[in-house]
Chains A and B, each alone.
Chain A
Amino acid sequence: MTNATVTRRDFLRVSAIAGGGILLAVYVPSFMRGRALGATSAEPGELNAYIRITPDGIVTIAAKNPEIGQGVKTMLPMIIADELDADWSKVRVEQVGLDTDRYENQWAGGSTATPINWMPLRQVGAAGRAMLVAAAASTWGVDASTCTTQAGVVSHRASGRQLGYGALADKAATMEAPSLKSVPLKDPKDFRIIGTPVHGVDNHAIVTGKPLYGIDVTLPGMVYAVFQKCPVFAGTVKSANLDAVKALPGVKDAFVVEPAPGGALNGLLGGVAIIADGWWAAESARGKLQVVWDEGATAQQSSASFDAQAAAVSKQAPQRSLRSDGNADAALKGAAKVVSADYFYPFIAHATLEPQNCTAHYHDGKLEIWAPSQTPAGGRSLVAKTLGMKESDITVHLTRAGGGFGRRLNNDYMVEAARIARQVNAPVKLLWSREDDIGHDFYRPAGYHYLTGGVDAGGKLVAWKDHFVTFGDPPRYAPSASISDTEFPARFVSNFSLGVSSMPLGVPTGALRAPGSNAIAFVMQSFIDELAHAAGRDPVDFRRDLLADVEDGAAMDAQRMRGVLELVAEKSGWGKQQFPRGTAQGVAFHFSHRGYFAEVVQVTVSRAGLLRVDKVWVAGDIGSEVINPLNAENQAQGAVLDGLSEAFGQEITIERGRAAQSNFNRYPLLRMRDVPPVEVHFLRTSFPPTGLGEPALPPAVAALCNAIYSATGKRVRSLPLSKQDLSWA
């Protein structure tokens, strides 16, 4: 590849490939620049796409982002290929490693891949197409405007001449590159790939058991490691029977790892590494390991103590006021009906089915790492800082990840593998057991909401007070334990107050699929339901009235939410059916990650309290295009079922400073026998397309609980449902 100058105007770099073909690279201004990620890119922007067309007609598109099951490895290339008018059957997708000289934002999270990439990838595809057309027109001596393209071929209609992209690639590389800003884009009605069902590019490798994942990485001479950390988070090793462990079959070494200074829960924690010639030998040896731990200052914390503390805090005024509109206290005094309710949601774990793992090789002062990370650049930075290395001496290869859900935004396993590898004279694969994984997660934080709301005689919501008791050392929140001052129904209730109090926490927390929203939607949409019933109003009508237009420039567009609410009511036959007692529908909506979702859940609860979900209807507005409808339906169904799974039985309780659950026998996930049909509808609107990894999840939990109330008269204010008595008479 040549090192051509990038023009500020175009951000497009075109080069000829030695041996034939054209290479297009496009730079775009960083979508996330200035946000918390702290990006420090060189001008002019991030390299966002990388396309190679070779004389055989094969179009190779680099996949720069981690694939964690969200489908970006297929979806992003579809956008380029459509504007390029490529033949999808000749498109190859190549996973590239971490390369911050070339790429930025090589991470997966926040449902951001679509909004970041939609327009820039269309532009680069269109620019490539324009250059191929120009090459054909020049070859034939005709005007480019008389040429058309389809499926990898340029045609001159008048003369019937045709040339394939492969044949044109060399010449195209010599054509003047068009301006990305002004290159004509397709009319969406002419999309041939976007909006059509496209199969995952790794499907065949997956169903035939090819080694795609981090756990599958194998290197010559590789040894295996387990790392035993203190069950109490951030506890350290006082002593261990290392000599006895070293004498066990297959064990090559065992040593104590000191924690990184500072005691951060998201970095290198103290523990004992056991190195063996196979993972089973290392894991067996762990069974004989005896460690005397210094459990540290948090060994006495427990879920029960958090509950008691929150209850006490709730009786005092909030430590901080986040928002105060009108006068909620006065409005409550004048309200026709007032409802007070305490809500709770528990800590929950990610439980990616592929446990955390990382393979690392330290040699000649350099580190090479293979990791299923959502944030490989962050991982490299953490490794460099912890081990005192230069980032330029660390190479990170990306593997497919067996699930992400936010767990792999943290790179604790990467820094552990790197630290162990530095002490081991061979490539080493660190693999966590499931017990390690559930016992050392960055849990979705638990939370407590103390709510009071009032409706007037006309059934209108006129007052809302929430005292949110969460975790953190004020004014900082524990990771993912915050709330936004625009969280619905803020702005939509004229007398509104939101106060927050925080309790200190010695448990690592972090983002779980639809962070914040996955818990807050349960609380807000359940309490709105309570108020609707108190007002004697239909829950859909009550919500529709609440969604009056609010024009203050905040993120959520009430009109778009009304659209999906009405659509889901129509599709579910809301209010049009008579159900026997014990069967009912519940509704909820939520805005998150730029997506608008309303959902209806229908349940049947037996008199004895046995819950069955009969069906779920989903209406989503993610803009003008659903880029890959085949994967979109899968993502939406998966997210909804993920929400049901969380609500049914997922809970991490803290006892004696540690997680009380350690494997799927006590941390139950949804099984096929409990899976209802999930009918997904997308409402096409005129807005640019947005992401789908997360926003379908949050409403599911509340809609489920609201259905349970209508079926049984029992209001669910605390999760999981497995701890609730749903019986009715």
Chain B
Amino acid sequence: MKVSFKVNWTAHTVDVPADMPLLWVLRDVLDLKGTKYGCGIGQCAACTVHIDGRPARSCRRRASTLEGADILTIEALSPDGNHPLQRAWEELDVAQCGYCQAGQLMTAAALLARNPHPTDAEIDTAMSGNICRCNTYLRIREAIHRATGTEATQ
């Protein structure tokens, strides 16, 4: 089926199976490889993007539900990779293998958009859907605080 939506402020019309997850539309149709596949069942959140400003697991969103949607991916989180979260991630050297970090950043960015000064508990609630197999969680939490100028509350 044909579906029209915006990805990173650019209009696209794709002709794909109705049940094709957004993840594969992004990766294999639009060649945006920053959004990652980890589980396909919404358990790891490596595939997190923003749809109409809200965080969404792109592996669980079928193409047929995306007509008119406004989608943001890691490639356009900021013009030059200078979103405060991206800067904090680099400064604190958060990544080990780095594979999950696009999803972590997109989840964190959505959190800050609705709650600019989250507490540790609020961060944990928002971020606990995202798996980091290298277990860089402590630095992820610290980087979110750094990006918001808040202190850890623990």
Chain A residues with CB under 8 Å of chain B are 68-71, 197, 199-200, 202-204, 206-213, 215-216, 218, 224, 249-250, 278-281, 284, 351-355, 400-405, 431, 433-434, 630-631, 634-635, 637-639, 641-642, 645, 663-665, 669-673, 675, 677-678
Contact = CB atoms under 8 A, between A and B. Distances in A.
Given A354-B99, A664-B44, 8 more contacts: A200-B98, A207-B74, A207-B101, A209-B74, A278-B24, A634-B139, A669-B131, A672-B137
A661 to B, nearest CB: 12
A470 to B, nearest CB: 27
Minimum-distance CB pairs A-B, first 8: A209-B34, A69-B97, A402-B99, A209-B74, A641-B135, A206-B98, A69-B96, A664-B43
A200 B135 contact: no
A203 B138 contact: no
Contact of B141 (A207, A669, A672): A672
Nearest to B80: A208
12 contacts: A200-B98, A203-B93, A209-B32, A215-B37, A433-B40, A634-B136, A634-B139, A641-B135, A664-B131, A669-B133, A672-B137, A678-B138
Contacts, number: 181
Contact of B75 (A203, A208, A352): A208
A210 to B, nearest CB: 7
B72 to A, nearest CB: 11
A298 B135 CA distance: 35
B94 to A, nearest CB: 8
B85 to A, nearest CB: 8
B41 A673 contact: no
B128 to A, nearest CB: 4
B93 A634 contact: yes
A354 B89 contact: no
A284 B93 contact: no
Interface string B121-141: 001110111111111111111
Contacts of A71: 96
Interface of B is mostly: loop
Contact of B133 (A218, A250, A403): A403
Interface in B48-86: 73-75, 77, 81, 86
Contacts of B20: 280
B86 A208 contact: yes
Interface of B: 17, 19-21, 24, 27-29, 31-41, 43-44, 46, 73-75, 77, 81, 86, 89-91, 93-102, 105, 123-125, 127-141, 154
Contacts of B31: 218
A208 B74 contact: yes
Nearest to B35: A209
Contacts of B94: 634
Contacts of B132: 353
Given A208-B81, A210-B34, A641-B135, A631 B28 contact: no
A403 B140 contact: no
Interface of A is mostly: loop
Given A203-B95, A280-B20, A434-B40, A353 B100 contact: yes
A631 B93 contact: yes
B33 A353 contact: no
Contacts of B33: 209, 211, 215-216, 218
Contacts of A199: 90-91, 93
B19 A284 contact: yes
B139 A203 contact: no
Contacts of A250: 17
Contacts of A677: 138, 154
Contacts of A203: 89-90, 93, 95
Contacts of B40: 433-434, 663
Contact of B24 (A211, A280, A637, A673): A280
Contacts of A642: 134-135
A627 to B, nearest CB: 14
A621 B142 CA distance: 26
A299 B58 CA distance: 37
A197 B95 contact: no
Contacts of A284: 17, 19
Contacts of A433: 40
A206 B24 CA distance: 20
Contacts of B37: 215, 355, 431
A434 B124 contact: no
Nearest to B29: A278
Contacts of A209: 32-35, 73-75, 77, 102
A176 B52 CA distance: 65
Nearest to B91: A199
Contacts of A224: 28
A673 B133 contact: no
A433 B38 CA distance: 8
Contacts of A280: 17, 20-21, 24, 28
Given A278-B24, A353-B131, A637-B135, A663 B41 contact: yes
A672 B135 CA distance: 8
Contacts of A212: 98
Contact of A400 (B89, B98, B102): B98
Contacts of B129: 671
Contacts of A678: 138
Contacts of B75: 208-209
B135 A207 contact: no
A500 to B, nearest CB: 32
Contact of B41 (A70, A204, A665): A665
Nearest to A215: B37
Contacts of B73: 209
Contact of B130 (A210, A281, A635, A672): A672
B93 to A, nearest CB: 5
A431 B101 CA distance: 20
B128 A353 contact: no
Contacts of A197: 93
Contacts of A431: 37
A634 B96 contact: yes
